[in-house]
Amino acid sequence: MPNRWRTIPFLLSFIIQSLAAPQSFENTAIVRSVELGGVAVHVTTTFAIKALEPGAKVYTIALGRQEKEKTSWFEVKVKGQQNPLLISEHPYAYESTRNYHLVDVTLPRPLTANGTLNIVLEAVQTHATTPWPTTASQKEDQALKFTADLLVLSPYHTLVQRTKLKALTPRLISFTIPKEVQDFMPDTPASKSGATVTYGPFNDIPPSANENFIAAYQQPVTIHYFHEQPVLEILKLTRSAEISHWGANLNIQDDIQLHNAGPALKGHFSRLDHQSQAFYKKPAPHALPALTLHLPSGIRNAYYYDLIGNVSTSRLRVAPSPPKNSKTKQYSVLELRPRYPIMGGWNYTFTLGWDAPLADSANWDHATGKYMVEIPIMTPITGAVVNNAEVKIILPEGATDVEFTPPFSALENRVSTHVTYLDTTGRPTLTFEYKDLTVMHAQSIFVSYKVSLSAHLKKPVAVATAFFSLFAFALLGRRINLTIHKNKVL
C-alpha cells in the first residue's frame, strides 16, 4: 500500500521534469572539477544557468547512475553563498533501467527571462578509486585508478562544458582519450597540464538526461595516477556518547576498525626496509605509521587501547576548553600510533575514548526546562571514509521527552535502553546507523530531553537504600543469638 503512495509523486515529478523543466533553462557553461584522492573523491560542478522563461524557480540536476551510487554526500549552493539550497531528489530506484538520476533544486528567487545564476554542486564520492596494480611491495609506489563519466548530464541544452581531473602530484600514469566525440568537439578531447587532465570543452550539447543520448555519447574515462598518502577506510565505527549530569561529563568512545584499502602488500613486511625507509625519510606511500586526529578541546582522561590492552605509543596535546559563546574552534591534537605500521591490506582495530566537560556541548533551556546536547557524529580522519557507522547516544537515567535533530537522515535509528553502573531502570539510548561517511559528514546530532529532580536522585537513593539495608541486616545479625547450646569458653 505505501508503495503506491510513493509512486504518485514520482510519476508527477517525472511528468513535470520531462515536460516543463527542459524548456525553462539553458546551461551556458558547466565546469566539473574532480579532486582525486584516496577513498574519497571531491567533485565540484559549477553550472552557469540562464532562465529561458520568467519565473523559473526549480532547476534540475542530473547525475549518472554510477555517479549516484558512489556519491555519499552532496550539496547545492549559489556560487559565493554559504547556505545550501533546498533540494528534493527524485525517487531513485535501482531496479529501474534508468541510467540517470534527477535532483530538483529550488532556487533562492525565481529568475526572470534570460536571468542568469551560477550554482555549485559539491559532491563527495566514496570508494570510487581502485588500487592498480592491486599489490605493491614495500618499496614500490602506490597507484590508483579513477573512472568517471565523460559528460555531465543535464536535462537542459548546454552550450559548453568541461571536466577537470586534478591529482595531487603531476605524476600521472595514463588517462583515457575519449572517442566519438567529434560531434561536440573538433580537436583533441583530452589534454594534460601539470597534475590536471582536462576533458573538453565540449560545445553545444543537447539535453542529455535521457537514455538515447547516454547510449550514443556517454562513455567512461579512466585516469591512473600515483597517490602518496595511504588509502584508509574505517570498516566499522561504533561511537557511544554517554551523558552524565552528576559528573558533568560527556564520555565519547569510538571503536574503530581501520583498514588500509591501498594495494595489498606484496610479499612480506620487512622491518629492516621499513626502518631504513624511515631513516632516509622516504616512507612507503601506502604504509600508515601514525595518524593525527583532532579531538574536541578541554578533554580529559583520553584513552586508547585495543583488544589486548593499552597502546602506549600516542601523544595528546589538550587544548583548553573555549569560553562559552566564543566562535574560535580549537582542537586537542592526538598523534595516534598503531601498534604496527599499517601496510596495504592490513587491519587494525582499536578503541579511543575521552571525557569532555558536559558544559561545552550542553545547554539548559529555562523556558522549557529541557537540556540540549550536541553530539558529533564522528571525528574525521583525514582522507578516510567510514563505511559503516553506528552512533549511540546514551541519555541520563530517567530522561523524558526525548527529541533529536540529525544533520542528515540516518539509514536507521532506534530507541532502546542501556543499563550500566548502578542503574535501576536503565538509560534511554538513541542509535543511529550510517553508511559511507566522509569529512563532510562530521556534523552533530542535537538531542533535547527533560530530566526531573526525582530522576536525578534515583541513583543516590538506590545506593543509599542498598547500603542502609545491608547495615540494618548486619545490625540485626549481630544481635540475634543463634547458638543452640551454650559453648564452653574457649
Partner 1 sequence: MPEAYPLPSNLSSATVTNTASLLRIVTLALISGAAIASRLFAVINFESIIHEFDPWFNYRATRVLATKGFYEFWNWFDPTAWYPLGRVVGGTVYPGLMATSGVIYNLLHALNLPVDIRNVCVLLAPGFSALTAWATYMFTKEMKDPSAGLLAAAFIGIVPGYISRSVAGSYDNEAIAIFLLMFTFYCWIKALKQGSALFGTVAAVFYFYMVAAWGGYVFITNMIPLHALVLILMGRFSNRLYAAYSSWYAIGTLASMQVPFVGFQPVKTSEHMAALAVFGLLQIVAFAQLVRSHVSSQQFQKLLFIGVVAIGILGAAAFGIMTLKGWIAPWTGRFYSLWDTGYAKKYIPIIASVSEHQPTAWPSFFMDLQFLIFLFPAGVVVCFRQLRDEHLFVIIYAVMASYFAGVMVRLMLTLTPVVCVASAVALSTLLDTYIDPTEPEINDDTVSESGASTASAPAPGANGTSHPTTPKKTKKAVPPPQSTSALGQIIAASRSSNNKPRPKGIFGADTRLMVVFNAMCLLAFFVFHCTWVTSSAYSSPSVVLASTNPDGSQHIIDDFREAYYWLRQNTQEDSVVLSWWDYGYQIAGMADRPTLVDNNTWNNTHIATVGKVMASSEEVAYPILRKHDVQYILVIFGGLLGYSGDDINKFLWMVRIAQGIWPDEVQEPSFFTPRGEYKVDDQASPTMRNSMMYKMSYYRFAELFGGNAATDRVRQQQLPKVGPTLDYVDEAFTSENWIVRIYEVKKEDPLGRDHKSANAFSQGKKRKRTKPAQRRRAIL
Binding site for partner 1 (CB under 8 A): 267-272, 275, 306-313, 339-340, 345-349, 419-424, 489-490
> Which secondary-structure segment (H or E) carries 202?
strand 196-205
In the complex, what is the shortest distance from the CB of residue 337 to partner 1, in angstroms, rounded to a whole number?
Answer: 10
In the complex, what is the shortest distance from the CB of residue 346 to partner 1, in angstroms, rounded to a whole number?
Answer: 5
Cα–Cα distance, 32 to 199 (Å, whole number) = 10
Cα–Cα distance, 127 to 336 (Å, whole number) = 24
Q: Which is nearer to partner 1, 186 or 267 (CB)?
A: 267
In the complex, what is the shortest distance from the CB of residue 221 to partner 1, in angstroms, rounded to a whole number?
Answer: 35
Q: Please say whether the beta carbons of 242 and 353 come within 8 A.
A: no
Which are the contacts of 64, defined by CB distance < 8 A and separation ≥ 6? Answer: 99, 100, 101, 149, 153, 214, 218
In the complex, what is the shortest distance from the CB of residue 361 to partner 1, in angstroms, rounded to a whole number?
Answer: 24
Q: Which is nearer to partner 1, 77 or 418 (CB)?
A: 418
Q: Which is nearer to partner 1, 68 or 274 (CB)?
A: 274
Q: Which is nearer to partner 1, 116 or 424 (CB)?
A: 424
* One-letter-per-residue 3-state SS of 443-466: CEEEEEEEECHHHHCHHHHHHHHH
In the complex, what is the shortest distance from the CB of residue 274 to partner 1, in angstroms, rounded to a whole number?
Answer: 9
The two beta strands, 196-205 and 172-175, are unpaired
Q: Which residue has the cell 596494480?
A: 133
In the complex, what is the shortest distance from the CB of residue 302 to partner 1, in angstroms, rounded to a whole number?
Answer: 14
In the complex, what is the shortest distance from the CB of residue 466 to partner 1, in angstroms, rounded to a whole number?
Answer: 8
Cα–Cα distance, 123 to 67 (Å, whole number) = 10
The SS3 of residue 268 is coil
Cα–Cα distance, 402 to 242 (Å, whole number) = 15
In the complex, what is the shortest distance from the CB of residue 331 to partner 1, in angstroms, rounded to a whole number?
Answer: 25
In the complex, what is the shortest distance from the CB of residue 309 to partner 1, in angstroms, rounded to a whole number?
Answer: 5
Q: Which residue has the cell 549516484?
A: 68
Q: Strands (DSSP E) along 382-476, which ranges?
A: 385-394, 399-405, 412-418, 427-437, 444-451
In the complex, what is the shortest distance from the CB of residue 138 to partner 1, in angstroms, rounded to a whole number?
Answer: 11
Cα–Cα distance, 62 to 44 (Å, whole number) = 14
Q: Which is nearer to partner 1, 19 or 489 (CB)?
A: 489
What is the DSSP secondary-structure string of 124-164?
EEES-EEESSSEE-TTS--EEEEEEESS---SSEEEEEEEE
Cα–Cα distance, 90 to 7 (Å, whole number) = 11
Q: Please say whether the beta carbons of 115 and 26 come within 8 A.
A: no
Cα–Cα distance, 79 to 354 (Å, whole number) = 39
Q: Which is nearer to partner 1, 290 or 411 (CB)?
A: 290
Which one-letter DSSP state was computed for residue 362? E
